[in-house]
Amino acid sequence: MKRSQNTCTSASAARTILTVVVAVIAVALSPLSAQQEPKLEASVIHILHVQGRVYMLVGGGSNITVQLGDEAVVLVDTGAPQMSEQVLAAIRTLSQKPIEFIINTSVDEDHTGGNQSLAQTGHYNTGLAGEQAGASIVAHLRVLDRMTAPPTVKETAVSQESWPTDTYDNDRWDLFNDEAIIIEHPHAAHTDGDSIVFFRRSDVISVGDIVTPEHYPVIAAAKGGSINGEIDALNQIIEIVVPRENEEGGTYVIPGHGRLCDRNTVTDYRDMVTIVRDRIEDLVKKGDTLDQVKAAKPTLDYDGIYGADTGPWTTDMFIEAVYRDLSQTKNQPDQRATKPGKKSGQGR
């Protein structure tokens, strides 16, 4: 665990005691016990119980994952800033326990916009040692780098209260909140600061914008994203999730936006991204220009599912991102393995 700012001091013991005290008070004041079924109320924010201790909040700007421990709450992403009040109200219908960790899956504002407001309600950092009081905001180091970059580099100014307070800069970091929480960092996928968060006992993984089942993946080149890194990340997720019988359910996957997924959904998504990558790569190798690639309609068979003509991420933007990425790397040797051919035939 690398402290990114307000470096941790020798106050850990005091912090632990305070944590316990706060938790005990919270338990005493809470109208909900761990055994009670949380009350799900209809509001602008929709609540979906995924399984185990994990819930998915929909409508806050991005999907927000809520994990309920006996003493504390863990969030994955915080949605848009203007939705924080309603997000918090939705969380409070599930638990009155303090928020301990907020894990950001990327630097995107629709995933980090509620950091400040929601962290302030938390308790991990007391503020006694001079650090920012409230919940710990966890992210890959690249997220902090981008949030704190000079104004000429970053897109918009991000308040210091929204910055990650605890970062990691290797491939994995583990937390615990009444179950193991395993955070893994795929390299250069949607961005270069992505995290996927696996709640091991609940058997739920929250993956941010690496999976968006209702539109093509956003390859944010300006934030270090890449098409091949995206495919690698999708394969990394597929390796973690285990389906129940008949390739359904089992480990559930909470995407950055859109409906709840399982391995089959992610596999179909991976297949689509790989096929489109291969088609565009083939055209790039033939020397086609971007306009020629667009004219070839390499996404035609998937546009009705994932495409868009308007909005923040159109089909053209996706094709252009993949084209530019592959054009930069087309002179690199092809590492893909070959395989014997086989006639397409009848399956089952």
Partner 1 sequence: MRAVHRAMILASLLLFAAAFMPQPARAQVDLSGEWSQTAGPDNTTDPDIGDYTGLPINDAERLRGDSWTAEKWDQQEHECEPHPADYAFRAPGGMRIWAETDPLTKEITQWHTMVFFLGVQRTIFMDGRPHPPDYAAQTWTGFSTGKWEGDRLRVSTTHLKEGWIRRNGLARSDKGTAVEYFIRHGDFLTIVSIVKDPVYLTEPLVRTEHWVLNPGYGLASYNCIPKHEVDKPKGWVPHHLPGTNEWLTEYPTKFGIPLEAARGGAETMYPEYMQKLATLPPPPPPPSPPKPKETAGAQK
Interface positions with partner 1 (CB under 8 A):
46, 48, 56, 58, 228, 231-232, 234-235, 238, 243, 245-249, 252, 258-265, 267-268, 270-271, 274-275, 278-279, 282, 296, 298, 300-305, 334-348
- Shortest CB 296 distance to partner 1, Å: 8
Helical H segments across the chain, by residue range: 12-29, 84-94, 109-112, 115-119, 141-147, 227-240, 263-285, 290-295, 303-306, 315-329
**Strand, coil or helix: 9:** coil
Q: Residue 172 or residue 259: which is nearer to partner 1 going by CB?
A: 259
Q: Residue 115 or residue 251: which is nearer to partner 1 going by CB?
A: 251
Q: Residue 72 or residue 241: which is nearer to partner 1 going by CB?
A: 241
Q: Residue 178 or residue 268: which is nearer to partner 1 going by CB?
A: 268
- Shortest CB 319 distance to partner 1, Å: 14
Four-residue CA torsion sign, 186, 189, 193, 197: negative
Query: Which residues, in sequence order, are bridge partners of residue 244?
Result: 248
Q: Residue 179 or residue 262: which is nearer to partner 1 going by CB?
A: 262
* E-only strand ranges, 114-249: 136-140, 166-168, 172-176, 180-184, 196-199, 204-208
Burial pattern 61-83, b for ≥16 Cβ within 10 A else e, equals bbbbbbbbbebbbbbbbbbbbeb
- Nearest one of 240, 232, 227 to 199, comparing CA atoms: 240
- Nearest one of 53, 37, 36, 56 to 45, comparing CA atoms: 56
Do residues 177 and 225 lie in contact, with contact meaning Cβ atoms separated by under 8 Å?
A: no
- Shortest CB 13 distance to partner 1, Å: 43
**Strand, coil or helix: 338:** coil
- Shortest CB 228 distance to partner 1, Å: 5
Pairwise CA distance, residues 95 & 53, whole Å = 11
Q: Residue 36 or residue 348: which is nearer to partner 1 going by CB?
A: 348
Q: Residue 120 or residue 264: which is nearer to partner 1 going by CB?
A: 264
- Shortest CB 299 distance to partner 1, Å: 9
- Shortest CB 14 distance to partner 1, Å: 42
The pair of three-digit structure tokens given for residue 27, joined into one six-digit string = 């338990």
The pair of three-digit structure tokens given for residue 29, joined into one six-digit string = 């004041």
Q: Residue 38 or residue 258: which is nearer to partner 1 going by CB?
A: 258
- Shortest CB 36 distance to partner 1, Å: 23
- Nearest one of 327, 321, 325 to 289, comparing CA atoms: 327
Q: Residue 73 or residue 280: which is nearer to partner 1 going by CB?
A: 280
Pairing mode of beta strands 204-208, 172-176: unpaired
- Shortest CB 347 distance to partner 1, Å: 5
- Shortest CB 58 distance to partner 1, Å: 5
Cα dihedral 141/144/149/155 (nearest 10): 120
Task: For residue 320, give every residue at least 6 positions away whose Cβ sits within 8 Å of its Cβ, in sequence order, or none.
Answer: 290, 294
The pair of three-digit structure tokens given for residue 242, joined into one six-digit string = 């285990």
